[in-house]
Amino acid sequence: MKAAIVVFPGTNRERDMAAALEKAAGHNSKPDLIWHGETELKGYDLIVVPGGFSYGDYLRCGAMAGNSPILRSIKEQAERGVTVLGVCNGFQILTETGLLPGVLMRNAGLKFICKMTHIRCERRVAPFTGGMAEGQVSRVAVAHNEGNYFADEDTLNRLEGDDRVLFRYCDDRGNVSDKTNLNGSQRNIAGILNEKGNVLGMMPHPENAIDPIAGGVDGLPLFESLAKAVMERA
């Protein structure tokens, strides 16, 4: 699996992401770290936009990164069917570029949230959740100030109707309610797909749950699903 992890000034999760991909795909599949000033991303099976605080979150989270030279290539590759994963700030960047609908606003409580939470897999679908079960609950970390997903009703209904809501915030038994909605996201949305199903944006950090001594291993199935789907397609 040939993977690229895009790095912006202020990105801070690229090495965690690289470790997760290597663990899932094997240590012979070391991802490339690509600086945001590059303009080409040809030849990659997977492109990841990791978390952090790109450009210090100035102007608006992901807004400045969304205008970086590398984003044109990310959009081109996504349109060609290349798999793209955006996590946390990466999700924000993908919405800024129009690859995913909606926006990520300030958390409802107007405070930075850094804690473990639970998310429920809404659909078993390659390339992201092919190795997971529908309804599977994962315990993962969140660390964000602007994770409150917002979209108009038509967009939300379209996401629901097309089965493009891939993850929701829930409790440890998979129950979804206002109490389990830690940041105010509409309909408890934690992750969504684009229309083609090859682009996923999510706020929680699965890359921080790949080792039993550091947050558990609930994040591994997503990366294992990715690796399997990408390598089967190659």
| Contact of 143 with 177, CB cutoff 8 Å | no
Q: Which of 22, 96, 122, 207 is catalytic?
A: 207
Run of H or E including 70: helix 69-79
Q: Which of 36, 118, 144, 205 is catalytic?
A: 205
Dihedral sign, Cα of residue 13, residue 14, residue 19, residue 24: positive
The yes-or-no answer on residue 114 being catalytic is no
The yes-or-no answer on residue 224 being catalytic is no
Q: Which amino acid is at 160?
A: E
205 Cβ contact partners less than 8 Å away, ≥ 6 residues apart: 13, 16, 51, 87, 88, 140, 141, 142, 143, 219
CA atoms within 13 A on the CB side of 27: 0
The yes-or-no answer on residue 207 being catalytic is yes
Q: Which of 61, 88, 121, 170 is catalytic?
A: 88
Q: Which of the residues are catalytic?
A: 88, 205, 207
